[in-house]
Amino acid sequence: MMGHYLVLSAAMFSIGAYGVLARRNLLIILMSIELMLNGVNIALLAFARMHPETGTRGHVFVLMVMGVAAAEVSVGLALLIAVFRNRQTVDTGDLKSLKG
């Protein structure tokens, strides 16, 4: 059943969205973004399997998403380390120097 895969994809994305919105620990926010990207990957693979005539287009797209995720997490964690070094906190509530 195709629908089940898409429901799982939506569930993963929603859980990740909750993590990004509700948590204030930068590490867990970054992990939740990974979860959201994975939800999208499942949907892409499900659609690729649904339409085999499109070949491996969906698979290539998922590989691109993985590359972007790897780049994003390396920069994100480097930012986190820089923030922690300067402010001794990973709480997004304490980071309000850009607040007007």
Partner 1 sequence: MAIDPVFAAAAGVSVVAGIAMVTRRNPVYSAIMMLVCFLALAVVYLKLDAPFLAAMHVLVYTGAILVLFLFVIMLLNLKPEEMGAELPLPARGLIALLCAGMFGLVVLVLMSDPSIHEPLPKMDPRLLADFGGIERTGHSLFNEYGLPFELISVLILVAIFGGVVLAKKKL
Q: Which of residues 34-93 bind partner 1 (CB under 8 A)?
A: 34-35, 38, 41-42, 45-46, 48-53, 55-57, 59-60, 62-64, 66-75, 77-82, 84-85, 88-93
Closer CB to partner 1, residue 50 or residue 97?
Answer: 50
CB 43 within 8 A of CB 77: no
* DSSP 8-state secondary structure symbol assigned to residue 92: G
Q: Is the CB of 4 or the CB of 100 nearer to partner 1?
A: 4
Q: Which of 86/100 has CB closer to partner 1?
A: 86
Tell the smallest beta-carbon distance from residue 40 to partner 1 (Å): 12
Do residues 45 and 58 make contact, with C-beta atoms less than 8 angstroms apart? Answer: yes
Least gap, CB of 70 to partner 1 (angstroms): 6
Least separation in angstroms between CB 26 and partner 1: 9
Query: How many other CB atoms sit within 10 Å of the CB of residue 58?
Result: 20
- Tell me the one-letter amino acid at 45: L
Of 57, 37, 38, the closest CA to residue 47 belongs to 57
